[in-house]
Every structure is written in structure tokens, then in C-alpha cells.
Chains A and B, each alone.
Chain A
């Protein structure tokens, strides 16, 4: 499979994700108009842009929720453009959502364990439903292992004390962390975070930023992060991509893009931009 003719990134072994010339159309509106970029292993890449720039659409294309009208997505050199989301999760692509998408009536622990489903091997074998109902040794061991992995993540994000709480009873900031935990528990190769700091207060934002840096630096996870606020990613990432109207309008270090006239125009409106 890896030898397919589409494999154009086999040269750089550290290249993890590459998107090439993505186009996405909703009715008559182009959400993405030729987006290309790549992410290397260990990167912490931020994608910023004003509302409606196409950031979430891009993430949805990478994780497989949308099919692009044109363009390709490569993961570890393999073309995954046609793969459904759950297959991509099995490959090691994991994500969080802009608005928290958890099982609101389940406990924190169950939510986090649900993130492990792509990794549970016996589920793919035959008679897995019967085995689960019979509570066989294999199932029990898997269950214990799942709990252990989930607990480790809860501990890492300091939310152990909420493990038995029902998600909807928790503050929003904690729910955000639970979602991060669910994305992290399957030990993904790449984490796609859709506005992890959206809706949080200042302290919670700082807290979340610390965890994101830790996950990147300490656990070595590759992270693609979406944020509409440039200030929030200034200290976080070394590389920033700015999008507007479905296109990449700037790329570089936070300082570089912050001083880019196109970026200022996109954020402040054309008028400010044109007076320069």
C-alpha cells in the first residue's frame, strides 16, 4: 500500500502528516481553497484565523469527518483521503472538538475509556459481543488494562478526583480536560485540538496551555492546534499557520505572522490593512 504512486512523502521519514491542495465546497461556498502544509513528528503547529476562515473544516478533513472535493491527505506517507474516521483513529489520529462532544450522562472514567475503543483488539475479533456478555478472562484483562490507561491519563491531567462524576455536572473547564484525556488515552501519533482554550477563563487557559506543552514536550506527541486568538498561541508554538477565506495567508513563527500585514488585515478588516 505504501508503494502507491501517491506516496510523495516517503523521503522525509520524520514527516507525519501532509495535506496537499485541499479543496472543500459546501453548496456554492468554498470552505477550503487549495490548502497545503505538512507536520513533522514532534511539531506543535498552531492554525489560527478569524471566524469562518476554514480552520475547523480543515481539521474535519484531516480527521475524516468531511471528504475533500479535491486534494489529498497523507499520514506517515500513506494516502488516507478515503479512509473513514474510525480507521484514521486506529492509525493514531486523535482529536478534540470545539464544543465539547462527550457522553454527557456518563462518568468521566467511562468517557475516557471510550477513547480506547479503536485500540481494543478483541472487539475486532469474532464473537466479541458474546465474549463481553460472558465476561471472559480476555475481556476482563482488557477491561483492567483500559482502566489503567485511563487512570494514567486522568492523573496526568490532574482530574483523577472527578473520575466517578457525571460529565454534565462538571464545570466547562474540566469537561475540556476530559475531552483532551479521551483524545490522549489511545496514545495517538498526532493530536488535533480544535480550540482547546475556547470558552475558558484566563487561569484555565494558562492551565490548558501548560498541559498542551507538556504533552508535546514530555510525551513527544505531535499536536495540531486550532485557535482563533493569536495571543493565545504566541508562547505556545514555534510555528503558526494563518488562514483566511479557506486559504493559508501566512506561515512562520508567531512573531513573523503577528507582524504580517495580510494577517493584520484579516484580523482587523480590510480597511486597516489598506491604510498601510
Chain B
């Protein structure tokens, strides 16, 4: 049984495991070499699967290798040479991988572009890398390229692998079917087979494996140049922490140009040797996912949140008895999580027995419905996932871990360890990876997986990697008492206190908002000696809380000023403070007698706090807070929902948190 509460814990030291893996893959140091080695050593083992016509079609390692060789041959016939860039655009399919590896064998550099890119973005990239050959999925991508064909003079051939609807372009001189490319390659290989083998042996770990678009938040993304050594090192370091082997299944469904999918579908699949499965259509990902039931998966927070809300909705619609069973065993699961992971303890025998009962009655069927029954390692990254989602997945037995990394460090640098999972952190650095915090609060990373630089942008490279080899991530964070890295925000979002220390307001606000009693918070303190907070309580939840305790109140304004409610909020802030470094802690707070509202301009329509506006609007109150006053006479005009305005006055408490 593959569920983790009863599975054995591997006590092998991860540093030692990393060293032995490095030793094992010392000679197999490029993707083409790894592919050739696997095709020779395990010719009949399944490497890839693709669902088509309702069934999974398998490709063994030797078939995989043959396809790649043919593609390489075809590309050679088309004039692709060492150092050329081959652009690939399409949804996840084996052909995507064949094209990528085929280019790599020739010493050419693959560049994947997201399939939802607009024609002008595609033409920008093609011109930026001077690509002669573009490999695309289907008619949709072909249409996009043909619409800008005059703007991309270097392009000589556009190769498509999905024939559907392509009859419309009969006779177009740019177009060639993937099968035709392979035929060309097949003929070419009759005479040049030795050359391909030679090429593979010639590939060196210091060569560039590919160009990987960075997740630039503004403008067009930069292209990171990662070497084979970068990628392979990252995958080995990952496996030193979370061992994976040939028996593992993996579903490739996140976009392949993205570094996270590359590190799993290529780097880790080649080193660990697990099977990579490609869904039939983008629409069928989750039913195909369930059929495969992978052992390892990666998903952004959005998907984990969707799974939970889907489960919640289904339970809501189910029968009385099922609801009772669900809530009983979920509470049991939460209790086990709180007693083990939350306290960083390994589960005791009684935990295992209780969990085992819950597994057979409840968790098993939930896991099965979502294809998570065999999950050994589940990763989330890209953004923060709320702690209650973590608790949920750990309660039902999904070993969900946060990862942190960037394209510039080949995807992963920091990761949670089994039974050392703190919901608000991203875990500890991988073996051989050094993480430090600069004086400005920026996260710096140094490892063998740090990229060679940005393609054709040496000045940008210099800004990102300093002379000592440290990668400047642009993220702000700190290392907590347990050695876990905490990501707080982008560095540019931080404000500075009067003592020069940086504070990440959004991060602290989010931590406050993780409490069910706090709806909105504004953390302020730019140029001041410490931080203060303006709080909006969650009326519904605090109302229930007050009713249970027999606290009388009349309205939101009244409830917000109750000493008991101040006590409640104070305890939440104390708890948050305990997880923050000294200078980020909130020293004073008020509960505002009104909610932040988009009509008043305090929050945006998407409920993002407009911090500068709030600081200006409540300046007198904030000044009073810093003067150390106990009360403040609060008055201002407020827009009512029907458009009228009203002025109200109220004395509000300013509370100090020690």
C-alpha cells in the first residue's frame, strides 16, 4: 500500500544519497547520453504513454530513442546545425519531447513557447533567437505563424505533428508533416547513423540544454540558458530528498516550456527513469490523470484549491450519513496532522491505526476519485497555498510539499522534507544548494544549478548573478528558527522602517487573514520605528464567536470595539508575531469601526488593499497610534450603498501588543 502514514521512512542521509547519485550519473551527464543509455539498458521498458483513441499507446525507451534519432536526422536534413535554435510550440505530446531531444542531439538548442502565446509574441521569440525551423502542434499554431510569416524572415520550415484540418494548407511551401520529417531523418540515418552516435557522445554537460522562458511579471520574458549539468544536478538533488524510481508514474499536463514541467518530464524522468504520460486532450487531463494515478505530481495552488472546493461541494450535496462520516474522519485526520506534522513529530502507532481505519472508510475513496491514491510526493509552488489546504491534504494522506525555485536555478532550490513541513514556509534548501539573505532582505541562491545567463542579454545576467556566483532572486524572505526559508514578497513590494529594516506588508496581512476572524488588514510603518495594523474583523465569524460567549452587541461598529474582540484579535496577532522576525512584528493595532470598501477607494475591486491610500486617509489615527495614545476620536464621512453620505464619530481603542 502506497499511502504514506504506514510507509517506511527512509533514514538515509540526503547528503550521502546526493553524493551517490552524482557518482552514478557522472558519465551520463547530458540528456542525449541518458536517453541512449536507457535505450540500450532497458530497451523494452515503457518510457512514454500517450492517450489517443481512448487508449494509452506506449513507447519503450528504444522506440523513444528511435523516434528522437529520426527527428534529429530530419532536422539535420533541413539544415539545423550546432548552436541553432529550434522553436517548439504546442500542448504536451511525445512529439514535443522528440523535437526537443532531436535538436539537442544535433547540438542545437530547443526553445519552447507557451501554446497560448499570441502571434506577435511568437514572432518576437522566433526573431530573437533567429530560428530556421519551428515545430508546432496543430492547425491553430500553424495559422498563428502563417499570419506573421512576413515578419519572421529566418523561418524556412514549419513542422506540425497533428494533421487535423491541415488539408486546408495543401501545397504551402513552409509546411511539413512531422511524419515526413521522420521519413527524411530515416533516410538520412541510413548513411549517417554513426554520426548521430558520435554527436551524442560528444555532448558535454557544459552545453546549453535549452532556453527556458522566465516567468517575468512585467513585459516579455527573458530566456534563461540552462546547461545539462544545471538540469541534471537539480533533478539529482531533488531525488536525494525524495527518492524516485522506474516504477513511478507521472502525468505531464503543465505547459512544457515551463521549467517545472521540464525538470519533471525530462530531467527527472531521464535520471529516475519513471514513465511520463500525456493526456488525450487539455479537456480530459483530470480523467486521464485518474486513470494513471501518478506517484509524483506538481500543481500550482489553484489546482489544490479547486480539488478541495470540489470535494466540499460534493459533500454538501450528499446524504446526512455521509456528511457525518466525512466530518468525523476529517476531524480525526486533522487531529493526527496537528499532533504530528504541525509539531514536527513522526506519527506514533496509535496515529497509524486511527489513520488506517479512516483510510479504508473515507480517505481512500476521496484519493481515488482525484487520482491521488498512489501519490508519494505532491508539490505546490509558484504562490502560497493557505495552511488549511495543507492540513486538508495531509489529513487525507497526500504528502503535499511546498517548493521554491526559479527558472534561473533550474526550477527547484528549496523544498519541504517529509515530516518537516511548516505550512507557512517553503522548506529547506536542496543538498549542495546555499541560500542566504542579503542585507536588503533579498534571497540569494548559489548552487550547481544556477543558469549560465540570459540568452543574448549579458547585462541582465550581470544584474542577476553577482561576481561570486550568487543568484539574486528578487524575492524577499527570511530564514526562520528551524532553518526553513520563508518567502514574503517580491523585493520591490517591501517598505523600509526608520531603522532601515525591510517589511513585507502583504505577507504579514496574508498571515493575519489566514485567521477566520480577520477579513482585511493593512500593515503600515513606512519610515516609522515599528509596524502597526488596521484590522477589519470578519463580521459573520466574530458574531458567531461572540454569541457563543454571550457577549452582547448591536452592530458591526459596536462589536468591533468590544474589549473581548480586541482580546481575540490580539491573540491572533501575537501568534502571527511569533512566526515573524523581530522587526516585522506588529506593535499596535486598531479594529476599524468600518470595513474597507472599494467605493471608498481603500481596496481595489479585486479586494487588494491600496496601502498608500489607506495610510493617507487614516493619517491622524496612525499618528495617534505612534504617539502611544490609548484612544482616538474617530470621525469621518462615509458613502452609503444608496449613494448618500454620512458622518459618524466614535471613540476607538488603540491596543498595544507586547
| CB 8 Å contact bits of B267-286 with A (1 = contact, 0 = none) | 00000000000001101100
Q: Given the complex of chains A and B, what is the CA–CA distance between A152 and B55 in angstroms?
A: 12
B360 at the interface (CB under 8 A from A): no
Q: Check A161 against B283 for contact (C-beta < 8 Å).
A: yes
Nearest Cβ on chain B to A150's Cβ, whole angstroms: 9
Among B52, B54, B165, B281, contact of A214 (Cβ-Cβ < 8 Å): B165
Considering the complex, give the chain A residue whose CB is closest to the CB of B167: A218
CB-CB under 8 A from A214, the residues of chain B are 165, 167
* Contact residue among B165, B167, B284 (Cβ-Cβ distance under 8 Å from A160): B284
In the complex, A252 Cα to B280 Cα: how many Å? 43
Whether the Cβ atoms of A151 and B53 lie closer than 8 Å is yes
* Chain A neighbourhood of B284, CB < 8 A: 160-161
Q: Which residues of A contact B280 (CB under 8 A)?
A: 160-161
Residues of A within 8 A of B644 (CB): none
Q: Does B164 contact A (CB under 8 A)?
A: yes
**Which residues of B, 282-301, contact A by the 8 Å Cβ criterion?**
283-284
B164 engages A148 (CB within 8 Å) = no
- A109–B54 Cα distance when bound, in Å, is 10
Query: In the bound complex, what is the Cα–Cα distance between A113 and B165 (angstroms)?
Result: 24
A residues sitting closer than 8 Å to B (CB atoms) are 109, 147-148, 151-152, 154-156, 160-161, 163, 210, 214, 217-218
A155 x B53 contact (CB < 8 A):
yes
In the complex, are the beta carbons of A160 and B54 less than 8 A apart? yes
Shortest Cβ gap from A146 to chain B (Å)? 12
In Å, the complex CA distance between A161 and B280 comes to 8
Cα A50 to Cα B167 in complex, Å, equals: 34
Assess the B164–A156 pair: CB atoms within 8 A.
Answer: yes
Interface extent on B, as a size class? 10 to 19
Chain B residue numbers with a CB within 8 Å of A163 are 54
Chain A residues with CB under 8 Å of B52's CB are: 155
Contact status A160-B164, CB under 8 Å? no
Report B143-185 CB contacts with A as 1/0, cut-off 8 Å. Answer: 0000000000000000000001101000000000000000000
Q: How many A-B residue pairs have CB under 8 A?
A: 28
Nearest chain A residue, comparing its CB with the CB of B288: A161
Can you pick out 10 interface pairs between chain A and chain B where the beta carbons lie within 8 Å of each other? A148-B53, A152-B53, A154-B53, A154-B54, A160-B53, A160-B54, A160-B281, A161-B280, A161-B281, A163-B54
Having A151-B53, A161-B283, one finds 9 other A-B pairs with CB under 8 Å, namely: A147-B54, A148-B53, A151-B54, A154-B53, A154-B54, A156-B164, A160-B54, A161-B281, A214-B167
Q: Which residue of A lies closest to B280 (CB)?
A: A160
Query: Distance in Å from the Cβ of B285 to the closest Cβ of chain A?
Result: 10
Interface centre among B52, B165, B284 (most CB of A within 10 A): B165
B151 CB to closest chain A CB, in angstroms? 27
Chain B positions within 8 Å of A160 at CB level = 53-54, 280-281, 284
Closest B residue by C-beta to A152: B53
Q: Would you list which residues of chain B between 27 and 79 have a CB under 8 Å from chain A? A: 52-54
Give every chain A residue within 8 A of B281 (Cβ-Cβ).
Answer: 160-161
- Given the complex of chains A and B, what is the CA–CA distance between A167 and B54 in angstroms? 18
A151 cross-chain contacts in B, Cβ below 8 A: 53-54
Residue of B nearest to A217 (CB): B167
Cα distance A161–B279 in the bound complex, in angstroms: 11
Residue of B nearest to A109 (CB): B54
Q: Which 9 interchain pairs have the tightest Cβ spacing?
A: A151-B53, A218-B167, A161-B283, A161-B284, A151-B54, A161-B281, A163-B54, A217-B167, A160-B280
Residue with the highest number of chain A CB atoms closer than 10 Å, among B52, B54, B165, B167:
B54
